[in-house]
Amino acid sequence: MQPSWGQRDTIFQRLLPAHYGNGIDSPRLASDGSELQNAREISLNIIRIYGLDETANVTLSVMSFGQFITHDITLSEDFTFENGSSPACCDAQGQLLPPNDMHPQCLPIKITQGDPFYTYNGINCMSLTRSKVGLDLSCTFGIAEQLNSNSHYLDGSQIYGSDVTTSNDLRSRVGGLMKMSNVDGRELFPIAPGCENQLNHELAVCFQAGDVRVEENPQLAAIQLIFLRQHNRIAKELQVLNPQWDDETLFQEARRIVIAQLQHITYNEYLPSLLGSKVMADSGLALPSSGYGNGYDEAIDPSVSNDFTAAAFRVTHSSIQGFLNLFDAADQEDTERSFSLSQYFFDSSRLVDDPEFLDSALRGLTKQPPQAIDELYSSEVTSRLYIGQKAYGADLAAITIQRGREHGIPGYNQFREFCGMPKVQSFDELIVNFFPENIDLLRAAYKSVDDIDLYIGALLENHVSVYQSGALMGPIALCITANQFQRTKNGDRYFYDIGGQPHSFTLDQLNQIRRSSLARLICDNNDGSVTNMQPLAMIQPIGTNQRVPCDSIPSMDLTYWKEI
């Protein structure tokens, strides 16, 4: 047993050895020792921001649920001073600081003259602070290894916190319940004390949760809210069944059930939608439908890999929709409520002020398709990220390229070998996995195939060969994602379907957990007007998966938790 594995504030692991410019901690360089092309220039030349390329079969909830579980397993925090603030890496006018004024933990992205968007706004600097680094598990410093500030396990830490202090803070201490605020009869997240002064919260609303990013966008907050409400629903039902249970017992049991549901929905609905049936089967990720699972292996380190979090899994940002379609109670598009993403980054005022927002957003998330995962991005995240009151925001694609380099993530070609694909010697050889026009873009951006950033290579790869099985990403992103979720499951002694442990569910209980679905969670925890839902909420409501009355969607029978 390795009790420190997966704990918060431990370092990410690596699938391949770090590749730093100086071998220790400076950003990766090109294979000839020169600087790689500027991250914003690569984004500008490769990422396109126009065109409609939606994915036909799935719903936007795949995107939001992905962000939700990302916030369970990984958080790379920016370097901070003792007082919790980060150094400014550009000045207030978006200009580069003189070298002597720049903190060593700054790695801003320089904006080249002629940048069509930023030059227009008079900006030559996009801020980026380096991630926190930590000791390796033998407590020695060496090559820079970034820290995960969340628990690496898929353990609901975005709901409950990654440490006891946060968890205690979020509990009401009565009846096993989590704290919630009450706004005109609607239960929302608890409001953090003293948050009125926080930047970006003009309306002085700020929600407290197990992960600091809960309000990153309102859709994410909506998904997270239904899980929080689910905890309290379960705790109340358990109390009726077992009036003798105290707060601690009710809390722990409700938490255990919610985490089990979260894990089940991740492996039963989310991953099949993202990876497709072939990768699920080939990677041993498909769940048994009866009996206990036998995935746990104590030799497996469950911790999140840097390559996954700092690069490969971020291709999912391409699936973000910049304009969110909301649907009214009659399931018609509600043009008045629909909104652009950049209007509400870190702003949950819609959830608070508009009593119909949550339900309209849930209907929208289960109907609107996501964007495809490819070189087309929404400009809401490539020039308007965290825009606030300014005329411009940041470019998430450029930041991701820079982040991968500062985390010392090796190039795309190296991962071909890791994933059992042949390493290529020339750009021409990429033809097996890339469209010719994308190869031209890569050739223009990188001097050697060995220089291609993992994120960019993974993003541009064709999906064609795996399309039939429904995968939404190319082979390298699939390989690294499958690797992560194998370890997340098989390295977790508390994974919900494991038998023979003191904490294991009974088989009857396990079979009830298996009835869980995102659809049922939405049905049970909305504000009352979502009365119909398709059984597979991450799949489009068409064909055999039409919206049906909530009553006909399977639910758990908690009487199996009654103590006799």
Helical packing angle, 61-73 and 247-265, nearest 10°: 130
Give yes or no for a contact between 190 and 179, defined as CB atoms under 8 angstroms apart: yes
Interatomic CA distance for residues 285 and 256, integer angstroms: 21
Q: Is 151 a residue that touches Ca ion (CB under 5 A)?
A: yes
396 contacts ligand HEM (rule: CB under 6 A): yes
471 binds ligand HEM (CB under 6 A): no
Copy the structure tokens of residue 390: 């300014």
Binder of Ca ion out of 155, 359, 406, 492 (CB under 5 A): 155
Site map (CB under 5 A) of Ca ion, residues 62-91, x = contact: ----------x-------------------
**In angstroms, what CA-CA distances link 441 with 48, 447, 489?**
11, 11, 37
Q: Per CB under 6 A, which region of 68-76, 438-446, 529-537, 556-564 contacts ligand HEM?
A: 68-76
Return the residue of 38, 61, 157, 318 that touches Ca ion, per CB under 5 A. 157
Of 76 and 157, which CB lies nearer to ligand HEM in the complex structure?
Answer: 76
Binding track, positions 201-230, relative to Ca ion; x by CB under 5 A: ------------------------------
Cβ at position 39, least distance to ligand HEM in Å: 11
- Closest-approach residue to ligand HEM (CB): 66
Strand runs (DSSP E) across 475-540, as ranges?
532-533
Interface pattern 333-362 for ligand HEM (x via CB under 6 A)? --------x---------------------
Q: CA 133 to CA 291: how far, in whole Å?
A: 42
The distance of closest approach from Cβ of residue 531 to ligand HEM in the complex, given in angstroms and rounded to an integer, is: 27
Q: Judged by CB under 6 A, which stretch of 25-33, 71-79, 199-207, 508-516 contacts ligand HEM? A: 71-79
C-beta separation of 147 from 118 below 8 A:
no
299-322 b/e (C-beta count within 10 Å ≥ 16 → b): ebebbbbbbbbbbbbbbbbbbbbb
With H, G, I as helix, E, B as strand and everything else as coil, classify residue 249. Answer: helix
> Site size for ligand HEM, by CB under 6 A?
20
Residue 472 has a CB neighbour count (10 Å cut-off) of 27
> By C-alpha distance, which of 419, 465, 460 is closest to 443?
460
**Contact yes or no for 26/32 (Cβ under 8 A):** no
Q: Which is nearer to ligand HEM, 215 or 253 (CB)?
A: 215
166 near Ca ion, rule: CB under 5 A = no
* Closer Cβ to Ca ion, 155 or 492, answer by number: 155
Measured CA distances, 50 to 53, 121, 168, 377, 385 (Å) = 9, 20, 46, 7, 16
Among residues 71 and 416, whose Cβ is nearest to ligand HEM? 71
Rounded to a whole number of angstroms, the minimum distance from the CB of residue 249 to Ca ion is 23
Site membership for ligand HEM, residue 314 (CB under 6 A)? yes
The residue annotated as part of the active site, out of 19, 71, 231, 463, is 71
Active site residue 71: yes
Helix intervals (H) in 246-385: 247-265, 271-282, 306-310, 349-353, 357-365, 379-382
Pairing of strands 181-183, 186-188: antiparallel
Query: Is position 303 an interface residue for Ca ion (rule: CB under 5 A)?
Result: no
User: Is residue 224 a contact point for ligand HEM (CB under 6 A)?
Assistant: no
317 is in an annotated binding site: yes
Site of interaction with ligand HEM (CB under 6 A):
63, 66-67, 70, 74-76, 216-217, 309, 313-314, 316-317, 320, 341, 381, 396, 399, 403
Site of interaction with Ca ion (CB under 5 A):
72, 151, 153, 155, 157
Catalogue the active-site residues.
71
